[in-house]
Structures are given as C-alpha cells and as structure tokens.
Amino acid sequence: MKQKLKIAIQKSGRLNDDSIRILKECGIGFNDGMNKLKAEAMNFPLEVFFLRDDDIPQYVEDGVADIGIVGENVLLEKNKDVKIVDRLGFGKCRLSIAVPKGRKYKSITELEGQRIATSYPGILSRFLKKQKVNAEIHEISGSVEIAPGIGLADAICDLVSSGSTLFMNGLKETEVVLKSEAVMIANTQLAEWKTVLLEKLLFRINALKRAGNNKYILMNAPDTNLEKIIKLLPGMRSPTVLPLSEEGWSSVHSVVNENEFWEIIEQLKNLGAEGILVIPIEKMIV
Ligand code: PRT
Ligand code: ZN
C-alpha cells in the first residue's frame, strides 16, 4: 500500500466546509459523507480524519495525524507542541473581553479582582498576567455570553466575529486578546517523505491564496499614455500589450493585488484607460 500523509480536519462546525473546500481546490477529492471517521483521498496520497477541533492539536502532537487544520485560538489554548506551517485565511475571529453595555469602562485595570467567564482560561490567564491584572477566571464550556446576565461573572472572554452575539446579550467588546484564523499545523518530527508531501500541499494552497489576493485586469489604453499605464501595472513579469485594430489604442492585460486594486483603477481611469475588465484568478503559480 502506498504511504499516505494523514490530515485531521474538523468533523462538523465552522471550519469543516472551508477545510474541505481548500483541499478540493487543491485538486484533492474525497468522500466527506456524514458519520465518517476517515476518508481516503482519490488523487493525492492523503488520508483525512474528521475530528472535534479541540482534539486536533493533541492528535497532531502525538503523530496520530501528521498535519491538521484548526483555529489558532484552539491551538494556543491547548498549548501543544506542534508547528504552524501556514495561515489559511478563513475562520477569522477575535478572542475578546466584553462587559455589560451600561458599564463605564476605561481600562483593563478595572478588571482587577473581577470574575471573568470564558472557555479559554489558558489564553486569558496569560493575557491578564502580561497586563498585570489579577482576576478570577471561571471556565465554562459554552454560552459564555449569558454569564453576566445570570450573575455568574462581571465580564466574559469569548470569540467574536460579527459582534451580534455580544450585542444581543447586552455586552460591549473592551479588549481584543487575540486575533485568530484557521492554521495548518504539523507534527514537529515528520519523516522526510511526509515533509515532501506537505510541501506539495502547501505549494498548492499558496497558489490558491495568491490567486485569491490578485485579479486579472484587461483594458483599452490610449497609446499616448501607454508608458505611464504600464508603470502602474507590474503584472507577473510585465503587462501584456496588444495593438487594437483602431489606431492609437492598445489592449493591456495584467495582474493586480487586491490591496492596491481600487487605487490603481482610479489612476488608470485618469490616464484614459477604458473598458476595464476585472476577472478573478483561480490559481496562480509564480
Ligand atoms: O464540535 P467542535 O468542538 O469541533 O466545534 P466547536 O463548536 O468547538 O467550534 P465551532 O465550529 O463553533 O468553531 C470552530 C472555530 O471557528 C473556532 O475555534 C474559531 O477558530 C472559528 N470561529 C470563527 C468561530 C467564530 N468565528 C465565532 N463567531 N468560533 C465561534 N464563534 C462563535 C462565538 O463563540 C460566539 O458564540 O460565534 C459567536 C459570536 O459570533 P458573532 O458573529 O455573533 O460575533
Ligand atoms: Zn470545539
């Protein structure tokens, strides 16, 4: 039997869909049927384990799985000996402290001696220690946001994404303890052949990430401003320039980074570029 790399992903929950999607977009197909513990990939030597996210760091540390996809918040809470090999750009959230909306709050020193409910006692206690604040940490496993309302705590420390859960429970965010996203973790002592497979996988993931951050753009440009337009568009090596059948105009193609995108479009328009088309890129290999 061919040797396989073993990856652990969340069985169900917020990271499940995106973890499966990223592998599929890397060309790795598998049956992700319900109630399955594991699946064999069809076109990559990979075995996929479906687990609870909380268990993934331990499985990777022990080498039961070689790699795994997990929220950085879970990883830091579990404090296991694994390494982060890539940040995946999904599952973004922050771990924040929140207090009742009506309470006046100026600084973290006001939490001295107070009760804070959280499912992240490890991360929170390290954070408070750094801030030189002594508080009573109450560990609860779910529905943390109701703790102040029922008199269990004065503040909470929980994951936030849109902020609507805090809002609905009459709470306001006061400190960001951690910014988190899904990360790829790996066992620290992978065999050479496993490292080779991991590198292959990361190469594909990076092609996806790069593509997601870039757009392919095409436009008609007046030849009079062609040089200035080309200077704005670095492209992969340099932009493609093709003559239009109408004299004095060219078609220019290039790749533009999302962060600079709107600024560049403005400048292109000012230089007389017309018919600008922007197209998503599926994969980008440099
Ligand atoms: O069953 P299993 O143990 O595997 O899953 P789980 O229930 O422990 O985790 P799950 O699926 O809820 O979340 C998995 C991971 O998704 C987390 O560890 C984070 O890394 C990431 N993530 C991203 C989030 C959120 N955003 C998020 N908003 N995890 C939880 N939330 C919760 C938060 O706890 C709060 O209850 O959503 C609520 C707040 O959301 P907003 O949008 O109202 O602010
Ligand atoms: Zn969990």
Strands 249-257 and 240-243: what pairing?
Answer: antiparallel
Q: Output the six-digit token pair for 211.
A: 């593509």
Looking at the CA of residue 145, tell me the nearest atom of ligand 1. 36
* For the CA of 166, the nearest ligand: 1
Strands 67-71 and 5-10: what pairing?
Answer: parallel
- Tell me the CATH number for domain 93-180: 3.40.190.10
* For the CA of 52, the nearest ligand: 1
Looking at the CA of residue 168, tell me the nearest atom of ligand 1. 43
pLDDT of 250 reads 97
Q: Output the six-digit token pair for 206.
A: 């990076």
Looking at the CA of residue 71, tell me the nearest atom of ligand 1. 20
pLDDT of 32 reads 75
SS (H, E, C) the chain: CCCCEEEEEECCCCCHHHHHHHHHHCCCCCCCCCCCCEEECCCCCEEEEEECHHHHHHHHHHCCCCEEEEEHHHHHHHCCCEEEEEECCCCCEEEEEEEECCCCCCCHHHHCCCEEEECCHHHHHHHHHHCCCCCEEEECCCCHHHCCCCCCCCEEEEEECCCHHHHHCCEEEEEEEEEECEEEEEECCCCHHHHHHHHHHHHHHHHHHHHHHEEEEEEEEEHHHHHHHHHHCCCCCCCEEEECCCCCEEEEEEEEEHHHHHHHHHHHHHCCCEEEEEEECCCCCC
Å from CA of 54 to ligand 2 middle: 5
Q: What are the residue boundaries of the structural domains of the chain, listed by start?
A: 5-89+181-211, 93-180, 214-280
pLDDT of 261 reads 87
Q: Ligand 1 within 6 A of 159 CB?
A: yes
Q: Which residues surround ligand 2, an ion (CB under 5 A)?
A: 53-54
pLDDT of 49 reads 97
Q: Ligand 1 within 6 A of 14 CB?
A: yes
Q: Ligand 1 within 6 A of 164 CB?
A: yes
Residue nearest to atom 33 of ligand 1 (CA): 159
Place of tokens 């929170």: 124
pLDDT of 36 reads 83
Q: Which of 285, 67, 70 is nearest to 188 (CA)?
A: 67
Residue nearest to atom 4 of ligand 1 (CA): 52
pLDDT of 1 reads 61
How far apart CA 162 and CA 146 sit, in angstroms, is 17
Cβ-proximal residues to 112 (8 Å cutoff; 6+ apart), any chain: 133, 134, 135
Task: Look at domain 5-89+181-211 and name its CATH class.
Answer: alpha beta
pLDDT of 128 reads 98
Q: Ligand 1 within 6 A of 109 CB?
A: no
| Pocket-testing residue among 18, 59, 160, 166, ligand 1, by greatest number of atoms within 8 A of Cβ | 160
pLDDT of 259 reads 86
Contact 99, 171 (CB under 8 A): yes
Contact 236, 285 (CB under 8 A): no
Same fold, 5-89+181-211 and 93-180: yes
Contact 175, 96 (CB under 8 A): yes
pTM of the model: 0.91
How far apart CA 115 and CA 147 sit, in angstroms, is 10
Written as tens digits, the pLDDT of the chain (286 aa) is 679 999 999 999 999 999 999 999 999 999 876 678 999 999 999 999 999 999 999 999 999 999 999 999 999 999 999 999 999 999 999 999 999 999 999 999 999 999 999 999 999 999 999 999 999 999 999 999 999 999 999 999 999 999 999 999 999 999 999 999 999 999 999 999 999 999 999 999 999 999 988 999 999 999 999 999 999 997 778 899 999 999 999 999 999 998 888 999 999 999 999 999 999 999 999 8
- Tell me the CATH number for domain 214-280: 3.30.70.120
How far apart CA 247 and CA 274 sit, in angstroms, is 15
